[in-house]
A and B are shown apart, each in its own frame.
Chain A
Protein backbone atom coordinates (compact mmCIF):
# COMPACT_ATOMS: atom_id res chain seq x y z
CA UNK A 1 0.00 0.00 0.00
CA UNK A 2 1.30 3.39 -0.97
CA UNK A 3 1.09 6.48 1.20
CA UNK A 4 -0.94 9.12 -0.54
CA UNK A 5 0.34 12.67 -0.13
CA UNK A 6 -1.59 15.72 -1.27
CA UNK A 7 0.31 18.93 -2.04
CA UNK A 8 -2.21 21.68 -1.49
CA UNK A 9 -2.58 25.37 -0.58
CA UNK A 10 -5.88 26.94 -1.56
CA UNK A 11 -4.15 29.86 -3.24
CA UNK A 12 -2.66 29.52 -6.71
CA UNK A 13 0.91 30.31 -7.71
CA UNK A 14 2.48 29.59 -4.33
CA UNK A 15 4.66 26.67 -5.44
CA UNK A 16 2.54 23.50 -5.26
CA UNK A 17 3.66 22.15 -8.61
CA UNK A 18 7.28 23.13 -7.99
CA UNK A 19 7.06 21.35 -4.62
CA UNK A 20 5.28 18.27 -6.01
CA UNK A 21 7.98 17.85 -8.65
CA UNK A 22 10.85 18.42 -6.22
CA UNK A 23 9.47 16.37 -3.36
CA UNK A 24 8.40 13.47 -5.57
CA UNK A 25 11.79 13.41 -7.26
CA UNK A 26 13.42 13.58 -3.83
CA UNK A 27 11.54 10.49 -2.64
CA UNK A 28 12.59 8.67 -5.82
CA UNK A 29 16.22 9.73 -5.24
CA UNK A 30 15.93 8.05 -1.84
CA UNK A 31 14.96 4.83 -3.58
CA UNK A 32 11.18 4.92 -3.14
CA UNK A 33 8.88 4.11 -6.03
CA UNK A 34 7.04 7.37 -6.51
CA UNK A 35 4.22 8.56 -8.76
CA UNK A 36 3.22 12.21 -9.10
CA UNK A 37 -0.32 12.86 -10.29
CA UNK A 38 -1.44 16.20 -11.75
CA UNK A 39 -4.98 17.01 -10.56
CA UNK A 40 -5.11 20.37 -12.32
CA UNK A 41 -7.42 19.27 -15.12
CA UNK A 42 -7.56 21.89 -17.86
CA UNK A 43 -4.38 23.62 -16.70
CA UNK A 44 -1.79 20.92 -16.77
CA UNK A 45 1.73 22.01 -15.83
CA UNK A 46 3.41 19.25 -13.89
CA UNK A 47 4.55 17.63 -17.17
CA UNK A 48 6.42 20.84 -18.08
CA UNK A 49 8.08 21.18 -14.68
CA UNK A 50 9.13 17.52 -14.83
CA UNK A 51 10.31 17.92 -18.44
CA UNK A 52 8.13 15.16 -19.91
CA UNK A 53 5.55 17.27 -21.79
CA UNK A 54 6.38 15.75 -25.17
CA UNK A 55 5.78 12.25 -23.93
CA UNK A 56 2.19 12.72 -22.79
CA UNK A 57 -0.02 10.39 -24.82
CA UNK A 58 -2.78 9.49 -22.39
CA UNK A 59 -3.76 11.34 -19.25
CA UNK A 60 -5.53 10.96 -15.89
CA UNK A 61 -9.00 11.50 -17.39
CA UNK A 62 -8.38 8.92 -20.12
CA UNK A 63 -7.64 6.37 -17.41
CA UNK A 64 -10.70 7.30 -15.34
CA UNK A 65 -12.92 6.98 -18.39
CA UNK A 66 -11.41 3.65 -19.44
CA UNK A 67 -9.84 4.99 -22.64
CA UNK A 68 -6.35 3.93 -21.53
CA UNK A 69 -4.81 1.72 -18.88
CA UNK A 70 -2.77 3.18 -16.07
CA UNK A 71 0.29 1.48 -17.57
CA UNK A 72 -0.26 3.27 -20.88
CA UNK A 73 -0.76 6.65 -19.25
CA UNK A 74 2.10 6.65 -16.74
CA UNK A 75 5.15 8.49 -18.03
CA UNK A 76 8.33 6.91 -16.66
CA UNK A 77 10.99 9.46 -15.79
CA UNK A 78 14.12 9.35 -17.97
CA UNK A 79 16.42 10.28 -15.08
CA UNK A 80 15.10 8.04 -12.32
CA UNK A 81 13.66 4.58 -13.07
CA UNK A 82 11.46 4.51 -9.96
CA UNK A 83 9.70 7.82 -10.73
CA UNK A 84 6.60 8.32 -12.87
CA UNK A 85 4.17 11.09 -13.76
CA UNK A 86 0.46 10.93 -14.54
CA UNK A 87 -0.47 14.04 -16.52
CA UNK A 88 -3.73 15.96 -16.18
CA UNK A 89 -5.97 16.30 -19.18
CA UNK A 90 -5.59 19.63 -20.94
CA UNK A 91 -8.85 19.53 -22.90
CA UNK A 92 -11.50 18.30 -20.45
CA UNK A 93 -12.92 20.12 -17.48
CA UNK A 94 -12.77 19.35 -13.79
CA UNK A 95 -16.08 17.47 -13.88
CA UNK A 96 -14.31 14.66 -15.70
CA UNK A 97 -12.85 13.67 -12.32
CA UNK A 98 -15.15 11.57 -10.16
CA UNK A 99 -14.55 10.39 -6.63
CA UNK A 100 -15.02 6.79 -7.64
CA UNK A 101 -12.71 7.17 -10.65
CA UNK A 102 -9.96 8.93 -8.70
CA UNK A 103 -10.21 6.29 -5.98
CA UNK A 104 -9.79 3.51 -8.54
CA UNK A 105 -6.71 5.12 -10.12
CA UNK A 106 -5.09 5.76 -6.72
CA UNK A 107 -5.78 2.14 -5.73
CA UNK A 108 -4.07 0.92 -8.90
CA UNK A 109 -1.09 3.21 -8.28
CA UNK A 110 -0.91 2.07 -4.65
CA UNK A 111 -0.15 -1.45 -5.82
CA UNK A 112 3.02 -0.45 -7.65
CA UNK A 113 4.29 2.60 -5.79
CA UNK A 114 5.46 3.47 -2.27
CA UNK A 115 4.32 7.08 -2.51
CA UNK A 116 1.67 8.75 -4.63
CA UNK A 117 1.82 12.56 -4.67
CA UNK A 118 -1.30 14.47 -5.68
CA UNK A 119 -0.51 17.92 -7.07
CA UNK A 120 -3.67 19.89 -6.23
CA UNK A 121 -5.14 22.66 -8.34
CA UNK A 122 -5.76 26.01 -6.66
CA UNK A 123 -9.12 26.74 -5.09
CA UNK A 124 -11.37 24.58 -2.95
CA UNK A 125 -13.63 23.25 -5.69
CA UNK A 126 -13.93 19.74 -7.05
CA UNK A 127 -10.36 19.25 -8.32
CA UNK A 128 -8.82 20.42 -5.06
CA UNK A 129 -11.34 18.41 -3.05
CA UNK A 130 -10.58 15.18 -4.92
CA UNK A 131 -6.83 15.76 -4.69
CA UNK A 132 -7.07 15.84 -0.88
CA UNK A 133 -9.90 13.34 -0.38
CA UNK A 134 -7.83 10.14 -0.30
CA UNK A 135 -4.74 11.61 1.38
CA UNK A 136 -2.83 10.12 4.30
CA UNK A 137 -0.44 13.07 4.43
CA UNK A 138 -0.95 16.69 3.43
CA UNK A 139 1.81 19.07 2.48
CA UNK A 140 0.42 22.57 2.82
CA UNK A 141 2.46 24.98 0.72
CA UNK A 142 2.37 28.54 2.02
CA UNK A 143 4.06 31.79 1.07
CA UNK A 144 4.83 34.27 3.88
CA UNK A 145 2.06 36.56 2.74
CA UNK A 146 -1.43 37.30 4.16
CA UNK A 147 -3.67 35.80 1.50
CA UNK A 148 -1.63 32.63 1.19
CA UNK A 149 -1.61 32.07 4.97
CA UNK A 150 -5.35 32.64 5.26
CA UNK A 151 -6.06 30.25 2.38
CA UNK A 152 -3.81 27.64 3.96
CA UNK A 153 -5.81 27.87 7.16
CA UNK A 154 -8.99 27.39 5.17
CA UNK A 155 -7.52 24.29 3.54
CA UNK A 156 -6.53 22.92 6.96
CA UNK A 157 -10.19 23.19 7.94
CA UNK A 158 -11.17 21.14 4.89
CA UNK A 159 -8.46 18.54 5.54
CA UNK A 160 -9.94 18.02 8.99
CA UNK A 161 -13.50 17.53 7.74
CA UNK A 162 -13.75 16.73 4.03
CA UNK A 163 -11.36 13.82 3.56
CA UNK A 164 -11.88 10.08 3.57
CA UNK A 165 -10.07 9.73 6.90
CA UNK A 166 -12.30 12.42 8.40
CA UNK A 167 -15.50 10.87 7.04
CA UNK A 168 -14.62 7.36 8.15
CA UNK A 169 -13.14 8.60 11.41
CA UNK A 170 -10.25 6.17 10.93
CA UNK A 171 -7.36 8.46 11.75
CA UNK A 172 -6.47 11.88 10.48
CA UNK A 173 -4.51 13.33 7.64
CA UNK A 174 -0.98 14.20 8.82
CA UNK A 175 -0.42 17.86 8.17
CA UNK A 176 2.97 19.27 7.18
CA UNK A 177 3.82 22.87 6.43
CA UNK A 178 6.26 23.94 3.73
CA UNK A 179 6.94 27.66 3.54
CA UNK A 180 8.21 28.62 0.09
CA UNK A 181 9.61 31.77 -1.51
CA UNK A 182 11.06 32.81 1.85
CA UNK A 183 13.26 35.91 1.74
CA UNK A 184 15.22 36.23 5.04
CA UNK A 185 16.45 39.69 4.13
CA UNK A 186 12.91 41.01 3.79
CA UNK A 187 11.93 39.26 7.02
CA UNK A 188 14.66 40.98 8.98
CA UNK A 189 13.57 44.33 7.54
CA UNK A 190 10.08 43.62 8.87
CA UNK A 191 8.61 43.52 5.36
CA UNK A 192 7.71 39.85 5.32
CA UNK A 193 6.05 37.50 7.80
CA UNK A 194 8.67 35.37 9.55
CA UNK A 195 8.69 31.59 9.85
CA UNK A 196 7.62 31.97 13.43
CA UNK A 197 4.71 34.25 12.49
CA UNK A 198 3.40 31.76 9.94
CA UNK A 199 3.81 28.86 12.37
CA UNK A 200 2.10 30.80 15.17
CA UNK A 201 -0.93 31.30 12.98
CA UNK A 202 -1.23 27.91 11.29
CA UNK A 203 0.13 25.83 14.20
CA UNK A 204 1.01 22.71 12.24
CA UNK A 205 4.48 21.12 12.16
CA UNK A 206 6.99 22.78 9.85
CA UNK A 207 8.54 20.35 7.38
CA UNK A 208 10.69 22.78 5.44
CA UNK A 209 11.45 26.27 4.28
CA UNK A 210 12.38 26.92 0.66
CA UNK A 211 14.08 30.24 -0.03
CA UNK A 212 13.08 32.52 -2.87
CA UNK A 213 15.55 31.51 -5.54
CA UNK A 214 16.23 32.33 -9.20
CA UNK A 215 17.18 28.69 -9.71
CA UNK A 216 13.50 27.69 -9.51
CA UNK A 217 12.71 29.63 -12.68
CA UNK A 218 15.81 28.33 -14.45
CA UNK A 219 14.74 24.80 -13.57
CA UNK A 220 11.20 25.27 -14.80
CA UNK A 221 12.60 26.71 -18.04
CA UNK A 222 14.61 23.54 -18.48
CA UNK A 223 12.06 21.01 -17.19
CA UNK A 224 14.27 19.89 -14.31
CA UNK A 225 12.86 19.40 -10.80
CA UNK A 226 14.83 21.89 -8.69
CA UNK A 227 15.91 19.23 -6.19
CA UNK A 228 18.24 17.86 -8.88
CA UNK A 229 20.17 21.16 -8.78
CA UNK A 230 21.93 20.05 -5.64
CA UNK A 231 24.29 23.04 -5.62
CA UNK A 232 21.40 25.48 -5.32
CA UNK A 233 19.89 26.65 -2.05
CA UNK A 234 16.36 25.78 -3.15
CA UNK A 235 17.48 22.31 -4.25
CA UNK A 236 19.23 21.68 -0.93
CA UNK A 237 16.28 23.02 1.03
CA UNK A 238 13.98 20.56 -0.75
CA UNK A 239 16.51 17.80 -0.04
CA UNK A 240 16.39 18.62 3.68
CA UNK A 241 12.61 18.69 3.54
CA UNK A 242 12.40 15.19 2.08
CA UNK A 243 14.89 13.94 4.68
CA UNK A 244 12.75 15.36 7.49
CA UNK A 245 9.64 13.77 6.01
CA UNK A 246 11.48 10.44 6.14
CA UNK A 247 12.20 11.00 9.83
CA UNK A 248 15.75 12.36 9.72
CA UNK A 249 16.51 15.49 11.66
CA UNK A 250 18.00 18.34 9.69
CA UNK A 251 18.55 21.89 10.91
CA UNK A 252 16.80 24.63 8.96
CA UNK A 253 19.08 26.31 6.43
CA UNK A 254 18.82 29.49 4.37
CA UNK A 255 16.46 31.10 6.86
CA UNK A 256 18.80 33.76 8.23
CA UNK A 257 20.03 36.77 6.36
CA UNK A 258 23.68 36.61 5.36
CA UNK A 259 25.09 39.34 7.58
CA UNK A 260 27.70 41.76 6.36
CA UNK A 261 30.78 42.54 8.41
CA UNK A 262 29.47 45.70 10.06
CA UNK A 263 26.14 44.15 11.00
CA UNK A 264 27.88 41.12 12.47
CA UNK A 265 30.04 43.49 14.51
CA UNK A 266 27.23 45.66 15.77
CA UNK A 267 24.40 43.15 15.80
CA UNK A 268 20.95 43.77 14.39
Chain B
Protein backbone atom coordinates (compact mmCIF):
# COMPACT_ATOMS: atom_id res chain seq x y z
CA UNK B 1 0.00 0.00 0.00
CA UNK B 2 2.75 2.48 -0.85
CA UNK B 3 4.11 5.15 1.43
CA UNK B 4 4.82 5.24 5.13
CA UNK B 5 1.77 6.58 6.94
CA UNK B 6 3.94 8.60 9.31
CA UNK B 7 5.07 10.74 6.45
CA UNK B 8 1.82 10.87 4.63
CA UNK B 9 -0.28 13.94 4.32
CA UNK B 10 -3.86 13.96 3.21
CA UNK B 11 -4.02 13.75 -0.53
CA UNK B 12 -0.47 12.63 -1.22
CA UNK B 13 2.57 10.65 -0.22
CA UNK B 14 5.27 13.30 -0.26
CA UNK B 15 8.31 13.06 1.99
CA UNK B 16 7.34 15.73 4.48
CA UNK B 17 8.22 16.34 8.10
CA UNK B 18 5.69 16.44 10.93
CA UNK B 19 5.67 20.25 11.03
CA UNK B 20 5.33 20.56 7.27
CA UNK B 21 2.35 18.24 7.28
CA UNK B 22 0.73 20.43 9.94
CA UNK B 23 1.11 23.51 7.75
CA UNK B 24 -0.29 21.58 4.79
CA UNK B 25 -3.21 20.42 6.92
CA UNK B 26 -4.08 24.06 7.64
CA UNK B 27 -5.18 24.44 4.04
CA UNK B 28 -7.18 21.21 4.08
CA UNK B 29 -10.80 22.32 4.16
CA UNK B 30 -12.46 18.86 4.41
CA UNK B 31 -10.62 18.14 7.67
CA UNK B 32 -11.97 21.33 9.22
CA UNK B 33 -15.49 20.71 7.87
CA UNK B 34 -15.48 17.13 9.15
CA UNK B 35 -14.36 18.15 12.61
CA UNK B 36 -16.92 20.96 12.77
CA UNK B 37 -19.74 18.62 11.70
CA UNK B 38 -18.70 15.94 14.22
CA UNK B 39 -18.33 18.48 16.99
CA UNK B 40 -21.73 20.02 16.30
CA UNK B 41 -23.41 16.60 16.40
CA UNK B 42 -21.63 15.31 19.47
CA UNK B 43 -21.30 18.39 21.72
CA UNK B 44 -25.06 18.75 21.83
CA UNK B 45 -25.35 15.08 22.81
CA UNK B 46 -22.78 15.44 25.59
CA UNK B 47 -24.69 18.35 27.11
CA UNK B 48 -27.96 16.41 26.92
CA UNK B 49 -26.39 13.26 28.41
CA UNK B 50 -25.01 15.13 31.38
CA UNK B 51 -28.29 16.91 31.97
CA UNK B 52 -30.40 13.76 31.66
CA UNK B 53 -28.04 11.55 33.69
CA UNK B 54 -26.50 13.75 36.39
CA UNK B 55 -24.87 10.69 38.02
CA UNK B 56 -22.33 10.66 35.16
CA UNK B 57 -20.47 13.65 36.61
CA UNK B 58 -20.34 11.88 39.97
CA UNK B 59 -19.02 8.74 38.27
CA UNK B 60 -16.32 10.81 36.55
CA UNK B 61 -15.13 12.41 39.79
CA UNK B 62 -15.10 9.07 41.59
CA UNK B 63 -13.27 7.47 38.70
CA UNK B 64 -10.55 10.10 38.78
CA UNK B 65 -9.78 9.28 42.42
CA UNK B 66 -9.87 5.53 41.85
CA UNK B 67 -7.69 5.66 38.73
CA UNK B 68 -5.20 7.88 40.54
CA UNK B 69 -4.82 5.23 43.25
CA UNK B 70 -4.23 2.51 40.65
CA UNK B 71 -1.72 4.60 38.71
CA UNK B 72 0.24 5.28 41.88
CA UNK B 73 0.53 1.56 42.54
CA UNK B 74 0.59 0.06 39.06
CA UNK B 75 2.79 -2.95 39.86
CA UNK B 76 0.37 -4.15 42.53
CA UNK B 77 -2.64 -3.86 40.20
CA UNK B 78 -0.84 -5.45 37.26
CA UNK B 79 0.12 -8.45 39.44
CA UNK B 80 -3.42 -8.80 40.74
CA UNK B 81 -4.86 -8.60 37.20
CA UNK B 82 -2.43 -11.21 35.86
CA UNK B 83 -3.27 -13.63 38.70
CA UNK B 84 -7.00 -13.26 38.13
CA UNK B 85 -6.69 -13.77 34.39
CA UNK B 86 -4.61 -16.91 34.90
CA UNK B 87 -7.21 -18.23 37.33
CA UNK B 88 -9.79 -17.62 34.60
CA UNK B 89 -7.73 -19.72 32.17
CA UNK B 90 -6.32 -16.92 29.99
CA UNK B 91 -2.77 -16.79 28.59
CA UNK B 92 -1.24 -13.58 29.89
CA UNK B 93 1.74 -11.64 28.56
CA UNK B 94 3.48 -8.47 29.64
CA UNK B 95 5.09 -6.15 27.10
CA UNK B 96 7.56 -3.53 28.26
CA UNK B 97 7.52 -1.65 24.97
CA UNK B 98 5.83 -1.62 21.59
CA UNK B 99 8.48 -3.82 20.02
CA UNK B 100 7.97 -6.58 22.57
CA UNK B 101 4.17 -6.22 22.25
CA UNK B 102 4.42 -6.67 18.48
CA UNK B 103 6.70 -9.66 18.95
CA UNK B 104 4.34 -11.31 21.47
CA UNK B 105 1.28 -10.88 19.25
CA UNK B 106 3.22 -11.97 16.16
CA UNK B 107 4.33 -15.15 17.93
CA UNK B 108 0.76 -15.96 18.93
CA UNK B 109 -0.64 -15.27 15.45
CA UNK B 110 2.16 -16.63 13.27
CA UNK B 111 1.72 -16.17 9.53
CA UNK B 112 -0.78 -16.98 6.82
CA UNK B 113 -3.71 -16.21 9.12
CA UNK B 114 -6.79 -14.05 8.80
CA UNK B 115 -7.14 -11.48 11.57
CA UNK B 116 -10.14 -9.26 12.30
CA UNK B 117 -9.39 -6.20 14.36
CA UNK B 118 -11.65 -4.03 16.45
CA UNK B 119 -10.74 -0.34 16.44
CA UNK B 120 -7.93 0.02 18.97
CA UNK B 121 -5.69 3.03 19.54
CA UNK B 122 -3.26 0.93 21.51
CA UNK B 123 -2.74 -1.34 18.50
CA UNK B 124 -2.03 1.80 16.43
CA UNK B 125 0.45 2.82 19.14
CA UNK B 126 2.45 -0.38 18.68
CA UNK B 127 2.05 -0.48 14.88
CA UNK B 128 0.41 -3.88 15.03
CA UNK B 129 -1.50 -4.08 11.77
CA UNK B 130 1.49 -3.29 9.55
CA UNK B 131 3.61 -5.75 11.49
CA UNK B 132 1.11 -8.60 11.17
CA UNK B 133 0.66 -7.84 7.47
CA UNK B 134 4.43 -7.84 6.96
CA UNK B 135 4.44 -11.33 8.47
CA UNK B 136 2.10 -12.54 5.76
CA UNK B 137 -1.25 -12.27 7.51
CA UNK B 138 -4.47 -10.85 6.12
CA UNK B 139 -5.58 -8.19 8.60
CA UNK B 140 -8.90 -6.36 8.44
CA UNK B 141 -10.03 -3.37 10.43
CA UNK B 142 -13.70 -4.00 11.14
CA UNK B 143 -14.92 -0.63 12.40
CA UNK B 144 -16.40 1.09 9.35
CA UNK B 145 -14.39 4.32 9.71
CA UNK B 146 -11.21 2.42 10.49
CA UNK B 147 -11.69 0.16 7.45
CA UNK B 148 -12.07 3.25 5.25
CA UNK B 149 -8.79 4.75 6.48
CA UNK B 150 -7.08 1.35 6.22
CA UNK B 151 -8.08 1.05 2.56
CA UNK B 152 -7.06 4.68 1.97
CA UNK B 153 -3.70 4.00 3.65
CA UNK B 154 -3.81 6.90 6.08
CA UNK B 155 -4.00 7.33 9.81
CA UNK B 156 -7.33 7.89 11.61
CA UNK B 157 -8.28 11.56 11.74
CA UNK B 158 -9.86 11.09 15.18
CA UNK B 159 -9.48 8.12 17.49
CA UNK B 160 -13.24 7.50 17.68
CA UNK B 161 -14.38 8.92 14.33
CA UNK B 162 -11.44 7.87 12.11
CA UNK B 163 -12.85 8.94 8.73
CA UNK B 164 -14.50 12.19 9.74
CA UNK B 165 -12.50 14.14 7.15
CA UNK B 166 -13.81 12.17 4.15
CA UNK B 167 -16.95 13.02 2.20
CA UNK B 168 -19.54 10.42 1.23
CA UNK B 169 -18.32 10.57 -2.39
CA UNK B 170 -14.72 10.04 -1.34
CA UNK B 171 -15.72 7.04 0.80
CA UNK B 172 -17.64 5.53 -2.14
CA UNK B 173 -14.51 5.80 -4.29
CA UNK B 174 -12.20 4.46 -1.57
CA UNK B 175 -14.35 1.40 -0.86
CA UNK B 176 -14.54 0.58 -4.58
CA UNK B 177 -10.81 -0.24 -4.38
CA UNK B 178 -11.66 -3.40 -2.42
CA UNK B 179 -14.71 -4.21 -4.50
CA UNK B 180 -17.30 -2.68 -2.16
CA UNK B 181 -19.75 -0.82 -4.36
CA UNK B 182 -22.41 1.41 -2.83
CA UNK B 183 -24.14 4.59 -4.04
CA UNK B 184 -24.48 6.27 -0.66
CA UNK B 185 -23.66 5.91 3.06
CA UNK B 186 -26.46 3.41 3.62
CA UNK B 187 -25.56 1.16 0.71
CA UNK B 188 -21.84 1.32 1.51
CA UNK B 189 -22.54 0.34 5.13
CA UNK B 190 -24.67 -2.59 4.01
CA UNK B 191 -22.04 -3.78 1.54
CA UNK B 192 -19.29 -3.47 4.17
CA UNK B 193 -21.46 -5.54 6.50
CA UNK B 194 -21.56 -8.36 3.92
CA UNK B 195 -17.89 -7.98 3.00
CA UNK B 196 -16.72 -8.21 6.60
CA UNK B 197 -19.16 -10.99 7.59
CA UNK B 198 -17.16 -13.28 5.38
CA UNK B 199 -13.93 -12.15 7.09
CA UNK B 200 -15.37 -12.67 10.59
CA UNK B 201 -16.46 -16.19 9.69
CA UNK B 202 -13.10 -17.22 8.29
CA UNK B 203 -10.91 -15.33 10.79
CA UNK B 204 -8.41 -17.28 12.87
CA UNK B 205 -7.91 -14.45 15.35
CA UNK B 206 -9.84 -11.49 16.69
CA UNK B 207 -7.88 -8.61 18.21
CA UNK B 208 -9.14 -5.70 20.28
CA UNK B 209 -7.92 -3.11 22.72
CA UNK B 210 -9.69 -2.59 26.03
CA UNK B 211 -11.80 0.28 27.32
CA UNK B 212 -11.51 -0.77 30.95
CA UNK B 213 -10.09 -3.80 32.75
CA UNK B 214 -11.38 -5.08 36.09
CA UNK B 215 -8.71 -6.54 38.38
CA UNK B 216 -11.47 -7.99 40.56
CA UNK B 217 -12.89 -10.38 37.96
CA UNK B 218 -10.14 -10.26 35.32
CA UNK B 219 -12.63 -8.96 32.75
CA UNK B 220 -12.13 -6.90 29.62
CA UNK B 221 -14.82 -4.23 29.13
CA UNK B 222 -15.48 -2.88 25.64
CA UNK B 223 -18.10 -0.50 24.27
CA UNK B 224 -19.21 0.18 20.72
CA UNK B 225 -22.13 1.03 18.48
CA UNK B 226 -21.53 -1.02 15.34
CA UNK B 227 -21.30 -4.59 16.66
CA UNK B 228 -17.92 -5.28 15.04
CA UNK B 229 -16.18 -5.59 18.41
CA UNK B 230 -18.75 -8.16 19.49
CA UNK B 231 -18.09 -10.16 16.33
CA UNK B 232 -14.28 -9.76 16.50
CA UNK B 233 -14.09 -10.92 20.11
CA UNK B 234 -16.56 -13.81 19.86
CA UNK B 235 -16.58 -15.41 16.41
CA UNK B 236 -12.87 -16.29 15.86
CA UNK B 237 -11.73 -19.16 18.04
CA UNK B 238 -8.80 -17.17 19.38
CA UNK B 239 -9.06 -13.70 20.78
CA UNK B 240 -6.21 -11.38 21.76
CA UNK B 241 -6.80 -8.29 23.91
CA UNK B 242 -4.12 -5.63 24.20
CA UNK B 243 -4.53 -3.75 27.45
CA UNK B 244 -2.63 -0.55 28.29
CA UNK B 245 -1.82 -0.97 31.99
CA UNK B 246 -3.55 2.33 32.81
CA UNK B 247 -6.87 0.73 31.84
CA UNK B 248 -6.87 -1.34 35.01
CA UNK B 249 -9.48 -0.38 37.61
CA UNK B 250 -9.98 -2.26 40.87
CA UNK B 251 -13.38 -3.80 40.19
CA UNK B 252 -16.27 -4.34 37.78
CA UNK B 253 -18.23 -1.44 39.25
CA UNK B 254 -15.53 1.04 38.28
CA UNK B 255 -15.05 -0.62 34.91
CA UNK B 256 -18.75 -0.02 34.21
CA UNK B 257 -18.44 3.55 35.46
CA UNK B 258 -15.42 4.10 33.23
CA UNK B 259 -17.16 2.94 30.04
CA UNK B 260 -20.27 4.96 30.93
CA UNK B 261 -18.19 8.12 31.36
CA UNK B 262 -16.23 7.46 28.16
CA UNK B 263 -19.32 7.05 25.99
CA UNK B 264 -21.26 9.91 27.59
CA UNK B 265 -18.43 12.41 27.19
CA UNK B 266 -17.82 11.31 23.63
CA UNK B 267 -21.48 11.92 22.86
CA UNK B 268 -23.05 8.53 22.16
CA UNK B 269 -24.81 7.41 25.29
CA UNK B 270 -25.76 4.77 26.12
CA UNK B 271 -23.42 2.77 23.88
CA UNK B 272 -25.38 0.36 21.67
CA UNK B 273 -23.25 -2.51 22.93
CA UNK B 274 -21.25 -3.43 26.02
CA UNK B 275 -19.02 -6.51 25.85
CA UNK B 276 -17.49 -8.03 28.97
CA UNK B 277 -15.09 -10.95 28.52
CA UNK B 278 -13.93 -12.93 31.55
CA UNK B 279 -12.90 -16.02 29.65
CA UNK B 280 -13.28 -17.48 26.17
CA UNK B 281 -14.43 -21.07 26.50
CA UNK B 282 -14.68 -22.61 24.00
CA UNK B 283 -11.70 -20.89 22.43
CA UNK B 284 -8.70 -19.07 23.76
CA UNK B 285 -8.18 -15.71 25.38
CA UNK B 286 -4.72 -14.10 25.28
CA UNK B 287 -4.17 -10.83 27.10
CA UNK B 288 -1.14 -8.62 26.49
CA UNK B 289 -0.56 -5.92 29.10
CA UNK B 290 1.34 -3.01 27.63
CA UNK B 291 3.63 -0.67 29.56
CA UNK B 292 5.41 1.28 26.78
CA UNK B 293 6.40 4.19 29.02
CA UNK B 294 3.31 4.24 31.22
CA UNK B 295 5.10 3.01 34.34
CA UNK B 296 7.97 5.44 34.08
CA UNK B 297 6.20 8.77 33.62
CA UNK B 298 7.19 11.69 35.78
CA UNK B 299 4.72 13.14 38.30
CA UNK B 300 3.23 15.77 35.96
CA UNK B 301 2.89 13.53 32.93
CA UNK B 302 1.35 10.79 35.06
CA UNK B 303 -1.95 12.69 35.12
CA UNK B 304 -2.43 11.88 31.43
CA UNK B 305 -2.81 8.20 32.38
CA UNK B 306 -6.19 9.04 33.93
CA UNK B 307 -7.53 9.58 30.41
CA UNK B 308 -10.57 7.45 29.46
CA UNK B 309 -10.07 8.24 25.74
CA UNK B 310 -13.42 9.90 25.18
CA UNK B 311 -11.97 12.12 22.44
CA UNK B 312 -13.75 15.21 23.77
CA UNK B 313 -10.61 17.34 24.08
CA UNK B 314 -9.80 16.81 20.41
CA UNK B 315 -13.06 18.15 19.09
CA UNK B 316 -13.08 21.18 21.41
CA UNK B 317 -9.45 22.17 20.79
CA UNK B 318 -9.02 25.20 18.46
CA UNK B 319 -5.74 23.84 17.08
CA UNK B 320 -7.12 20.37 16.43
CA UNK B 321 -10.10 22.01 14.71
CA UNK B 322 -7.63 23.49 12.21
CA UNK B 323 -5.26 20.58 11.73
CA UNK B 324 -7.01 17.37 12.76
CA UNK B 325 -4.94 14.43 13.92
CA UNK B 326 -1.92 15.62 11.96
CA UNK B 327 -1.02 17.68 15.05
CA UNK B 328 -0.36 15.89 18.33
CA UNK B 329 1.95 13.01 17.53
CA UNK B 330 1.95 9.92 15.40
CA UNK B 331 -0.86 7.97 17.08
CA UNK B 332 -2.93 9.95 19.52
CA UNK B 333 -3.20 13.44 18.13
CA UNK B 334 -4.78 16.58 19.58
CA UNK B 335 -4.16 18.02 23.03
CA UNK B 336 -4.20 14.66 24.82
CA UNK B 337 -1.81 13.44 22.13
CA UNK B 338 0.91 15.66 23.58
CA UNK B 339 1.03 13.77 26.86
CA UNK B 340 0.35 10.39 25.30
CA UNK B 341 3.02 10.81 22.61
CA UNK B 342 5.59 11.88 25.20
CA UNK B 343 4.72 8.86 27.37
CA UNK B 344 4.74 6.28 24.59
CA UNK B 345 7.28 7.68 22.09
CA UNK B 346 9.38 10.13 24.09
CA UNK B 347 9.54 13.94 24.07
CA UNK B 348 11.37 14.08 20.74
CA UNK B 349 8.21 12.81 18.99
CA UNK B 350 6.44 16.13 19.71
CA UNK B 351 9.31 18.50 20.52
CA UNK B 352 8.11 21.08 17.97
CA UNK B 353 4.41 20.39 18.14
CA UNK B 354 4.07 21.27 21.84
CA UNK B 355 4.79 24.86 20.91
CA UNK B 356 1.77 25.06 18.62
CA UNK B 357 -0.74 24.78 21.47
CA UNK B 358 -2.44 28.09 22.28
CA UNK B 359 -2.89 26.95 25.91
CA UNK B 360 -6.48 28.18 25.97
CA UNK B 361 -7.37 25.45 28.47
CA UNK B 362 -10.59 24.31 26.81
CA UNK B 363 -9.30 20.71 26.86
CA UNK B 364 -9.09 20.83 30.63
CA UNK B 365 -12.59 22.26 30.97
CA UNK B 366 -14.25 19.56 28.86
CA UNK B 367 -12.19 16.61 30.14
CA UNK B 368 -14.26 14.27 32.35
CA UNK B 369 -11.09 13.36 34.25
CA UNK B 370 -10.23 17.07 34.70
CA UNK B 371 -6.73 16.40 33.38
CA UNK B 372 -4.69 19.59 33.44
CA UNK B 373 -3.51 19.30 29.84
CA UNK B 374 -2.14 22.88 29.61
CA UNK B 375 0.11 22.12 32.59
CA UNK B 376 1.29 18.95 30.85
CA UNK B 377 2.01 20.90 27.65
CA UNK B 378 3.97 23.60 29.54
CA UNK B 379 5.94 20.86 31.27
CA UNK B 380 6.68 19.21 27.92
CA UNK B 381 7.83 22.54 26.50
CA UNK B 382 10.40 22.76 29.29
CA UNK B 383 11.55 19.21 28.60
CA UNK B 384 11.78 19.95 24.88
CA UNK B 385 13.87 23.08 25.45
CA UNK B 386 16.16 21.22 27.82
CA UNK B 387 16.58 18.42 25.31
CA UNK B 388 17.40 20.83 22.49
CA UNK B 389 19.93 22.65 24.70
CA UNK B 390 21.81 19.41 25.44
Asked whether A and B interact, the reply is: no
